[in-house]
Chain A
Amino acid sequence: MESNDHQKHSHHFILPTKTALTIGAILLGLTGVTVLMGSVHLGSFNMALALLVATVKASLVCGYFMNLKYDKAGNGFVFSTAFLFLAIFAVLTGTDIFFRGDVYVKGPLLAATSGGPAKFKTPWIASAEISAHGKELFGQQCTACHGVGGAGDGAAAAALNPKPRNFTANVGWKNGPKPSQIFKTLKEGIAGGAMASYASLPVEDRWALSQYVASLNPQPQKDSDADLALVGVKGGNQEGVETASSIPVEAAIDLLVNEAKAKKAGT
């Protein structure tokens, strides 16, 4: 039996030194290619090519240095499963990370989630109707803190610190007094105080509130196209303004980063 073992072992493939040196030289050559490619600018091709070269190098290392070319297929298969599962990990994580922003909540679906067909086609443009609607909503949602007249003197105001905004003065607006800026406040709330996000209200109701609150200002200000674009209204098209009653993860992260920075700068 022992002699048998010995015979079996002498069948093991031993890579000839010449092949080893050749493969080593190719690997070093390919490293040179990779570095040179870094100095030529081919746009996104650069990365693809660099990865291709890396993969060729990796295959050479696996095939010759790690003997997979001469080994049973099983070991190579086992090793490749690792990359298969890594690919699964990458792709499915990617379906989240690179597709955030609630792509399906647009157009008709958006109308449905905001509680029926839109009453106002362009709620970001002020009108008497929309201001009236806004006033009605203001009475339901805002007066407890901001007061019936919007002077920041509601019943609950006494208990609050910082105090609620006085809408009848042109000072201290955290996000600005334009309708689009108020709209932003309604969407995100104001950190560090009692002003919460009202993103759960339908989009047009929030616009209506914004129009009404902006009109309380002694010097009402109007939105420029650029202002509107900031909240997602582009070319008179509201698509993408509002998606769901949540803020995207990205925006949340940005908020937190800025908050942390402001804090750091303050201390």
Chain B
Amino acid sequence: MTTSSHSNYLNHSKGLWSWLSTLDHKRIGLMYLFTTLTFFLVGGIFALLIRLELFTPGQTIMDPNTYNRMFTYHGAIMVFLVIIPAIPGALGNFIMPIMLGAKDVAFPRLNLASYWIYVAGAVFATSALFLKGADTGWTFYTPYSIRTNSTVILVLTGAFIAGFSSILTGLNFIVTIHKLRAPGQSWSRLPLFVWALYATSIVQVLATPVLAITLLLLMMERLLGIGIFDPKLGGDPVLFQHFFWFYSHPAVYIMALPGFGIISEVIPVFSRKPIFGYKAIAYSSFGIALIAFIVWGHHMYVSGQSELANFVFSLLTMAVAVPTGIKVFSWVATMYRGQVRFEAPMLYALGFLELFTVGGLTGVFLATLAVDVHLTATYFVVAHFHYVMVGGTIMALLAGLHYWFPKMSGRMYPEKPAAIAFWFILVGFNVTFFPQFILGAQGMPRRYWGYLPEFTLLNQISTFGSWLLAVGFVYIAIYLWKAMRNGPVATANPWSGLTLEWQTSSPPPHDNFANTPVVTQWPYEYRVEKA
């Protein structure tokens, strides 16, 4: 094996086709990364336009119909094409097999197929942009989604196709984790990022098929008028919401769980302390995955579902706070009396803790039936959702991106610009979304193109925050791009991590390891060094 610094997965073979047809999980991971980040840019531009429109109470830059399309696209792209595939598809694909000491995922061809299916879904969904758009919101609630004249069917088809990508990735990961662990890599020595991806994959495999059938039924509803969700034909529109949220609530955890995994890796490395409550963190991922399936009705408190269902779902929803609370407690306890280093991955991990805690606790408000009746479909929900998804998943993604950047590119990113960008994002995020809690509590409904004049000030603060956020993200893109091309060369293990990906060179060779590694210890045996 010629594992010199000259031979790695990046220069293993050349040409565009060698990338597009690659079976190497690392290259597929990078393709996911670039594609999801591209869609993140697109979805982000829509978000900026939405905020710009809301700068004044009446019309600012677009008419109401355009606005409806904007928020639908922002939601659908960010959910189906960015947050769901980003961490598992990009970082999971790249890092997880190396963490296991494997040469690849169990089914490399299926892995490539997942990527191209995802691209096909994305093409369908975005093609509607150039036709009559879609104006249903990302939730596609019936009966409006059946009647609207927009090209919602293309977005449905896109989400339907992208769903299969998600299913196949989950399936591939589960088999990989079961069957391809290196010698000595027992379940109790598995890195927590792998545990988190395992729980995520289970949710993907169990929930996404229901999305497939839901969207298929909705397409048939539009094409043939089968009536199952159409009240005019005797069907039940609330049943659609059950179908939709049976997938889409667990999907929230498909988005969040991999992020938890990244945080569980970053915090012990940058605190130089063994992770607190390894088993508790690992098992709580499964607790979250299971509870994910029994709480969906809390999206439907005011939908007309029965009082019994409201009561049952409100009660069950409270249970989500337990496993997530265990995780947050364990992370904080890991940092306690550790030797905390404030490099970019750790900054983002701390930002994650702040934002996710706010997002999680406001979730308890929304879980409470009586409170939710007031807050439902207001900006309070928008703020809560963004604190969890951007504050949780995107912050974790950024933590992981900086943490594994040396491994993926073989180069170091610059620390100071990273810190500046972090503060822009943290401050910008809070300025954007905290006012929305207040707006929501005051009763400003979401998804409206206009608002009462008394909400103007808070909306303008929020819009101003969105610009700070944009500056932060653009800055990250610039310095990472520069670092990728001519940053200082990274060593194999710049953060002194103990998981397997740091035992191979940066960037790793085509087969990941010169020799199959043998795992002899738990990967969190960090020790605080005496100064």
Contacts and interface: CB of A to CB of B under 8 A. Distances in A.
Question: In the complex they form, do A and B come into direct contact, defined as C-beta atoms under 8 angstroms apart?
Answer: yes
Contacts of A256: 231-232
B319 to A, nearest CB: 14
Contacts of A89: 210, 246, 293
B307 A104 contact: yes
Given A88-B294, A89-B246, A253 B306 contact: no
Given A253-B231, A257-B231, A93 B308 contact: no
Given A85-B293, A104-B307, A95 B312 contact: yes
Interface string B293-315: 11011001000111111011100
Contacts of B233: 257, 260
Nearest to B296: A92
A224 interface: no
B183 to A, nearest CB: 15
A96 B299 CA distance: 13
Contacts of B239: 93, 97
Given A82-B206, A85-B293, A249-B238, A100 B306 contact: yes
B394 to A, nearest CB: 29
A249 B311 CA distance: 17
A105 B210 CA distance: 33
A95 B308 contact: yes
Nearest to A100: B306
A176 interface: no
A120 to B, nearest CB: 26
B231 A96 contact: no
Nearest to B143: A256
Interface in B235-270: 235-236, 238-239, 242, 246
A253 B210 contact: no
Given A102-B307, A103-B307, A96 B234 contact: no
Identify the interface centre among B210, B235, B305, B311: most chain A CB within 10 Å of its CB: B305
Contact of B309 (A96, A105, A248, A252): A96
A97 B307 contact: no
Interface residues of A, number: 26
Contacts of A259: 232
A10 to B, nearest CB: 21
B208 to A, nearest CB: 12
Residue from the set B246, B296, B308 with the largest chain A CB neighbour count within 10 Å: B308
B309 A88 contact: no
B293 A97 contact: no
A97 B236 contact: yes
Contacts of B306: 95-97, 99-103
A81 to B, nearest CB: 7
A94 to B, nearest CB: 9
Contacts of A103: 306-308
A146 to B, nearest CB: 30
Contacts of B297: 92, 95-96
Contacts of B242: 93, 96
B308 A252 contact: no
Interface centre among B206, B306, B309, B313 (most CB of A within 10 A): B306
A85 to B, nearest CB: 5
Contacts of A96: 238, 242, 297, 300, 305-306, 308-309
A260 B146 CA distance: 15
A99 B238 CA distance: 13
A99 B206 contact: no
Nearest to B232: A260
Interface residues of B, number: 26
A85 B207 CA distance: 9
B232 A95 contact: no
A246 interface: yes
B304 A252 contact: yes
Given A89-B246, A95-B312, A97-B236, A81 B206 contact: yes
A99 B231 contact: no
Contacts of A81: 206
A257 B312 contact: no
Given A256-B231, A257-B234, A105 B307 contact: yes
A102 B313 CA distance: 15
A82 B205 CA distance: 9
A246 B242 CA distance: 20
Nearest to B230: A256
B232 A257 contact: yes
A92 B305 contact: no
Interface in B311-325: 311-313
Given A97-B236, A253-B231, A88 B307 contact: no
B305 A100 contact: yes
Contacts of B294: 88, 92
Q: Which of A101, A249, A260 has the most CB of B within 10 A?
A: A249
B492 to A, nearest CB: 31
Contacts of B309: 92, 95-96, 99
A168 B260 CA distance: 70
B72 to A, nearest CB: 25
Contact of A88 (B236, B293, B311): B293
A71 to B, nearest CB: 15
Contacts of B206: 81-82, 85
A105 B311 CA distance: 13
Contacts of A252: 231, 304
A97 B241 CA distance: 12
Contacts of B236: 97, 249, 253
Interface in B100-132: none
Nearest to A259: B232
A70 to B, nearest CB: 20
Interface of A: 81-82, 85, 88-89, 92-93, 95-97, 99-105, 246, 248-249, 252-253, 256-257, 259-260
Given A99-B306, A103-B306, 14 more contacts: A85-B206, A89-B246, A92-B313, A93-B242, A93-B246, A95-B306, A96-B242, A96-B305, A97-B306, A102-B306, A103-B308, A105-B307, A246-B304, A249-B238
24 contacts: A85-B293, A88-B293, A89-B210, A92-B309, A92-B312, A95-B309, A95-B312, A96-B242, A96-B305, A97-B306, A100-B304, A100-B305, A102-B306, A103-B308, A105-B307, A246-B304, A249-B236, A249-B238, A249-B304, A252-B304, A253-B231, A253-B236, A257-B232, A259-B232
Interface of B: 206, 210, 231-236, 238-239, 242, 246, 293-294, 296-297, 300, 304-309, 311-313
User: Sorted from nearest, which 5 A-B pairs have the closest CB atoms?
Assistant: A96-B309, A96-B305, A99-B306, A99-B308, A95-B309
